[in-house]
Amino acid sequence: MSSADVFALVSPVNTEVVTSPVRFNFQNTYVRLPERFYSRVNPTPVAAPGLVKVNEDLARSLGLDPTELSSPEGVAILAGSRVADGSEPLAIAYAGHQFGHFVAQLGDGRANLLGEVMGLDGVRYDLQLKGSGPTPFSRNGDGRASLGSVLREYIVSEAMAALGVPTTRALAAVTTGESIYRETMLPGAVLTRVAASHLRVGTFQYFAARNDTQGVRILADYAIARHYPEAASAKRPYLALLEGVISRHAQLVAQWVLLGFVHGVMNTDNTSISGETIDYGPCAFMEAFDPDMVFSSIDRQGRYAYSNQPRAALWNLTRLAETLLPILDENPDTSLASAKEALSTFDPQFEMARLAGLRRKLGLVTEREGDLPLAEQLLASMAANDADFTLTFRRLSDVAGGSADDTVRTLFADPRAYDSWAAAWRSRLAEEPISAQERAAIMRRANPAFIPRNHRVEAVIEAAVERQDFQPFEEMLDVVSHPYEDRPELERYTTPARPEECVRQTFCGT
């Protein structure tokens, strides 16, 4: 199947469910792929849909009307109780390595792809409901999501978007009027997720595990058409696809580590082909810098610890390369050599992106050989002195603009560790051709003032779940949507957790 065939649209299939006049203007392509790629399944209606939030700016960027989405008909669609005109709901098939263990069939067990829309930017986006009920891939699960997990993903994914990190987005959150059981009874909710697509490394693994080379080829053609159109004209399109995915993930993981972000569950089924951050379950932003930080309650070996994320990404990309071996070249030896060569570029690309980011965070616009050791020395001192990752770099931005060192020194258990490093930093800054004001401005664009701190997210969830109070959610969403702005009146959102407030484990929501 060619790229042109993949995107040839035909008339939507007929359904016998109740439809709605809310206009989405779906232009669906994934459902045109062979039926072994998915299972047609409608969302399961809920008892009493209730709107929590519609992301109005995102809706408009997708050509959608926020007022329509907020109407009773719109909320019914977002909850899964109605199917919109033009929607062809389905659950995508995929496999995956979960903490290193391969599962040949996973799939959308609690998600439903409603269809695709063209954004005003000319990009095609998936609209998916998460927590919309059981599917053939549910593996005895209830297919539902808790309100807390929905609010967490909404907040963190929107924070990531505001921070400039490629990510899925949250279009809406609704309550279901039903309870679900997760060790205790919790209110249910549904998240409407927007993604460049929901193709994963695990999607390729699904077909490779079945020795379905034709399926791998069809999927690769689709991925090229949707995400890497330049690869279509390459001498070896499938190798160009692999190289493109590797490059995007090298950049993506570099952005994660530069922000102190820990994904928490970097399984191959959570590794997107588009290069977006996807599946916000046991994720968090570090406070006190710790390279070995783990948040996932089930990652007891630290497989996806902060410092292991580049290694995990390369491991996942190697699994992608394995699925593509039969189509990279007719000669198996050539195919294997090409894959190895492509994978060998990940580390250099990651390190280059990380170093460039560290220079921006330290206000360095020129390149010197000692820049990486200078940055590493700071990180080592931060780790040894429990210095807050985000606050250290943000306050360094102020120091670069002329503020006193005390605001940074007090973050270190032993302030002398900072003093020693700061002397070397100032010596390096003296070699720079820009003014202090210019430097501070560059650093403030690289070092956020606000992140969704874990204890603040938990406070939002507690207010919503225990008291049906969504005002803290609205306020925090406003805060993290403007992460680089100075907002003194919201300083409490920059404050690290007190010992009794620390949240050291997060959960996936299933």
Q: Which residues are catalytic?
A: 269
The burial of 161, by beta-carbon neighbours within 10 Å (0-12 exposed, 13-18 middle, 19 or more buried), is given as buried
Q: Helices 454-467 and 471-480 meet at what angle, rounded to 10?
A: 150
What DSSP character marks residue 78? Answer: H
- Tokens read off for 353: 């992106």
Coil, strand or helix at 465: helix
CA dihedral for 199, 202, 205, 210, sign (positive or negative): negative
Distance CA 188, CA 50 (A): 11
Residue with tokens 């995929």: 94
Distance CA 470, CA 154 (A): 13
Distance CA 319, CA 307 (A): 20
Gyration radius of the chain over CA positions:
23
- The C-alpha torsion from 100 through 102 and 105 to 109, rounded to 10°, is -20
- 126-137 CB burial, b ≥16 within 10 A, e <16: bbbbbbbbbbeb
- Tokens read off for 109: 């067990």
Count of residues for the chain?
510
3-state SS of 254-277? HHHHHCCEECCCCCHHHCECCCCE
CB-based contacts of 274: which residues, under 8 Å, 6+ apart? 166, 195, 196, 197, 199, 226, 227, 248
What DSSP character marks residue 119? Answer: -
